[in-house]
Structure 1
Amino acid sequence: MIAGFGIEQALAAFAAAFAAAYVRGLAGFGMAILLVPVLALAMTPVEAVLVTNGVSVLVGLSDIRVTLRDAERSAWRIIAGVAIGTAPGLWLLSLTPPGFARLLIALVAVSAFVAVLLPRRPGAMPGHLHTGATGLVSGLLTGFAGMPGPPVVPFYVGRDIPRAVAKASMLLVFIGASTIGLVSGAALGVLEPNYLVLSLLLLPAVLAGNGLGARKFGHVADRTWRIFVAVVLGATALAALAKLAL
């Protein structure tokens, strides 16, 4: 047993964490979208969401200076919406049968892929209503699926802004969302100490994967990066649906 989880569960978590963190380092998102569906096959959805939140906070602190420097100020407004929506989302997850929750989580991954394929919009910052709604939906998905990304990725990647700004803004939102998710889990009494222990044990694999991905980020063209974003979302959606069929 490792942190209360079986050896198979822990090994699956380590492998998934490394791969998901590599994508995070290169794309600026994707760790939760990749990690939660995999973990949810080896543990309950609530455990998968909270372990992923713990990992996201820890790796986020490792590059917080660059994130704060480059992020768009809209990220803070989205985080405010996330703070409102996360606890209700986690509460709904705790009431949802695990099999049905896994199906919904897979559909969330599909929705993110579809959204990022929509035509790119001008780079001007959206209004308060659009930004706030993005944050609220992101919060609900943070609580229910551990995935703040589906509304946030199109919000930034779908606009004509520098990719460094898009990446930093997304990462800032995800750090905030994961922190709020852990606080909400503790408040609802569903956060167990062993979830945080497993998050901490996964940190070396996450830091290694994130570092490799971040080094690649500076060597790819903008168009290539945006294509990679779409491919990651599409592959994740297909994998999540395929695993449900098994």
Structure 2
Amino acid sequence: MHDILVLSAATLAAGFLRGVTGFGFALAAVPLYSLTMAPLQAIVVAQILQIAAAPTDFLQNRRSVDRRALGRLCGGALVFAPIGAVFATRLPADALRLAIAAIVLMGLAALMARVTIRDGKAPAVTAGALAGLLGGLAAMPGPPAVAYFLGRGTEKSVSRASLLLFFAFTASIALAALALESEVVDWGIGVSALAAYPSMLFGNWMGTRLFQRLGDGHYRVAALAVLFLSAALTGAKGIAGLI
């Protein structure tokens, strides 16, 4: 019962962040889930929940999506998400957490410096490839994709809609690869995800209501805050595991 309560509380918080920014779910959920389950199991639960939310995301956001950018991001992720999943099954979890935290912080520093990312195929495919690698590695494709949209100065509604669908795509590819590479995907994981799903829906609903009240400037601040929080949580968990 304790584990279910922790899982539901973590999912509620992560769902709220997701509703506000369009990302941040796995960034917040995976470190919190790993307090009560193995890191690879935490990754799989986060991926299942993001896939489960995809139909609703598509119906609600399909008119706001940047289809060209989304297609290019997905093209990069399609190749590199399976590679990340292979690494996830073979590398030490705590070392991975530290690497992810470092990558998130580097992306955060670039965004705070207001680095501008030009429009074009190469930046989008590169961001998609990096996001896919992190998505397969730790269910955390957010930082490169978020940096891509914020760096282009994309409107908040377009960024949020595009990110939601991109993360569902990345999670689908990564989960399929993990299912082939390990035995972590089983009925027990599915039951855990099912138990957490109502909390995700409610948290996402609350976050979406707040998103509708945010201006572009406040949206950017919220996005940067989520990135910093995710880096801190992931890095702290990695250091604790290595000490």
TM-score normalised by length of structure 1:
0.89
- Partner AA of 1:186 in structure 2: A
Q: Which stretches of structure 1, 4 residues or longer, exceed 6 Å deviation after superposition?
A: none
- Indicate which of 68, 76, 83 corresponds to 2:78: 83
> Equivalent residues in 2 for 1:68-217 (5 A)?
68-73=62-67, 74-119=69-114, 121=116, 126-190=119-183, 191-217=185-211
- Aligned to 1:239, the other structure's residue is in SS state helix
Q: Which consecutive residues of structure 1, in runs of 5 or more, have no partner in the other structure?
A: 1-6
Query: What corresponds to 1:3 in structure 2?
Result: none
| Structure 1 residue 27, shift from structure 2 partner | 0.8
Q: Does the 8 A contact of 2:100 with 2:231 survive in 1?
A: no
RMSD value, Cα: 1.9
Q: Which consecutive residues of structure 2, in runs of 5 or more, have no partner in the other structure?
A: none
Q: Does the 8 A contact of 1:46 with 1:94 survive in 2?
A: yes
- Aligned to 1:71, the other structure's residue is in SS state coil
Q: Distance in 2 between matches of 1:109 and 1:145?
A: 12
Q: Distance in 1 between matches of 2:110 and 2:146?
A: 8
Q: Does the 8 A contact of 1:70 with 1:165 survive in 2?
A: yes
What CA deviation, in whole Å up to 9, does each residue of 1:179-228 have, x standing for no partner? 11221122223322222221121110000000011011111111111111
What CA deviation, in whole Å up to 9, does each residue of 1:39-69 have, x standing for no partner? 2232222111111000111123222113222
Q: Distance in 2 between matches of 1:206 and 1:218?
A: 18
Q: Distance in 2 between matches of 1:102 and 1:235?
A: 14
Query: What corresponds to 1:12 in structure 2?
Result: 6
Q: Which moved more, 1:81-90 or 1:33-42?
A: 33-42
Q: Does the 8 A contact of 1:120 with 1:160 survive in 2?
A: no
Q: Does the 8 A contact of 2:94 with 2:237 survive in 1?
A: no
- Partner AA of 1:240 in structure 2: T
- Aligned to 1:121, the other structure's residue is in SS state coil
Return closer, same or farther for 1:112/1:45 CA change in 2, 3 Å cut-off. farther
Percent identity reads 29
Q: Which moved more, 1:137-146 or 1:229-238?
A: 229-238
Return closer, same or farther for 1:9/1:104 CA change in 2, 3 Å cut-off. farther
Q: Does the 8 A contact of 1:78 with 1:136 survive in 2?
A: yes
Q: Does the 8 A contact of 2:131 with 2:143 survive in 1?
A: yes
| Structure 1 residue 244, shift from structure 2 partner | 4.1
Aligned length: 238
TM-score normalised by length of structure 2:
0.90
Return closer, same or farther for 1:120/1:218 CA change in 2, 3 Å cut-off. farther
| Structure 1 residue 240, shift from structure 2 partner | 2.9
- Partner AA of 2:203 in structure 1: G
Q: Distance in 2 between matches of 1:67 and 1:200?
A: 24
Q: Distance in 2 between matches of 1:78 and 1:141?
A: 13
